[in-house]
Amino acid sequence: DAGITQSPRHKVTETGTPVTLRCHQTENHRYMYWYRQDPGHGLRLIHYSYGVKDTDKGEVSDGYSVSRSKTEDFLLTLESATSSQTSVYFCAMSGDRDTAGTFGSGTRLTVV
């Protein structure tokens, strides 16, 4: 309904395994973002994209990679999940005339 969806909504994975989270938008927005939310830390930017194949690091990018091969999809990959990556992950999108942006509903990831 908000034009942005995240999948999966919940995931439990084991330490050391690769994990990919998907963000899909239907608004043709140029900018997409991945954040993680942890108690006491608020929202911290992991990576963001300002166009197809154009990405940049945020403040907590270590251990994460992203890819954007199409405008509508932004993938976040944890190459080898660690317990410190247990968190709630939010994707967001924004356009040139929509600075505030729209957030997805989040993915709760637990690494055991």
The binding site for another protein (CB under 8 A) comprises 31, 33, 40-45, 48, 50, 58, 90, 92, 99-106
Nearer to another protein, 63 or 101 (CB): 101
Nearer to another protein, 4 or 19 (CB): 4
Under a CB-based contact definition with an 8 Å cutoff, are residues 1 and 100 in contact?
no
For residue 83, the SS3 value is helix
Q: How far is the CB of 81 from another protein (least distance, A)?
A: 22
Under a CB-based contact definition with an 8 Å cutoff, are residues 85 and 78 in contact?
yes
d(CA 74, CA 31): 10
d(CA 21, CA 66): 10
Both structure tokens of 23: 């963000």
Nearer to another protein, 18 or 54 (CB): 54
Q: How far is the CB of 19 from another protein (least distance, A)?
A: 20
Q: How far is the CB of 80 from another protein (least distance, A)?
A: 26
